[in-house]
Amino acid sequence: MAKHMKMTRTKWVWLVCAIIYVVFFSWYTSFGGPLSDEEIEHYLGRFAEQTPSPNPEELASLRRFMEEDTGDDFVMLNIIDMYDVPLQIDGVEPGDSSDQVLGKYMEYMYPALFSRACHPVFFGNAAHSALDIMNADGMEEWTRGALMRYRSRRDMLEISTNPRFQGSHEFKVAAMAKTIAFPLDPWFQLGDPRLVLALFLALIGSALSWLFSTKAGSGRA
């Protein structure tokens, strides 16, 4: 009876661990594949409807970005220089700091990002002006840098073409004096949450299995 109970408990532990991991993996991983031609035209149309709309060069760049889609996740490298005093636009109070104004922009971005398994990978404030710069006049001073992970290019496009993004984007313009952002793909990180969660669940499952086994052995003694 004790052996049967131990086996039942152990199986339930590993079953729950497996379910948790499958659910997380399914949410965190993109299975949609590269963007189709129809999707590319759809998103280009949505960009063209924005105010102000991208110029022809920007639209051509967006098209290449979509046509080169791998279907996998990618990281956006962001280098940011904040205004000492934000631009005074609608929604910005006279005493607001640039960080507070950027926070208004992120009120839309964070829910939109996290709902699609997109999140910061790295974030840090500048410790000094640029120590190595070449053929980039005026690029010496920066405030911070960040890496933002996107589950797929499709997810990024869904976020950036949402009409709600247009209103909040004005706060980004008011807070940032200048910024550079470009995608990294392929990329990797040693702390991939899928790997971390797998190791954590394996540790929990092994520990509970050992605990049940020890208790069962003590009961027989």
Per-residue pLDDT of the chain (221 residues; tens, 9 = 90+): 445 554 588 899 999 999 999 999 999 999 999 999 999 999 999 999 887 889 999 999 999 999 999 999 999 999 999 999 999 998 999 899 999 999 999 988 999 999 999 999 999 999 999 999 999 988 999 999 999 999 999 999 999 998 888 778 889 999 999 999 999 999 988 889 999 999 999 999 999 989 988 877 666 65
Query: Sign of dihedral through CA atoms 186, 190, 191, 195?
Result: positive
The pairs formed by 18-23 with CB atoms below 8 angstroms and a separation of 24 or more are 20/197, 20/201, 21/197, 21/198, 21/201
Q: Are 71 and 65 in contact (CB under 8 A)?
A: no
pLDDT in tens, 120-145: 999 999 999 999 999 998 899 999 99
Residue 168 confidence (pLDDT) = 83
| CATH code for the part of the protein at 73-184 | 3.30.70.100
Collapse the DSSP code of 76 into the 3-class scheme (helix H, G, I; strand E, B; otherwise coil) and give the result: strand
Instruction: Please report, for residues 65, 131, 208, the alpha-carbon distance to residue 81 in angstroms, rounded to integers and kept in the order given.
Output: 25, 16, 49
Question: Using CA atoms in the order 117, 123, 129, 130, what is the torsion angle rounded to 10 degrees?
Answer: -50
This prediction has a pTM of 0.88
pLDDT in tens, 88-107: 998 999 899 999 999 999 98
Phi and psi (nearest 5°) for 200? -65, -45
The domain segmentation of the chain, as residue ranges, is 2-25+193-220, 35-68, 73-184
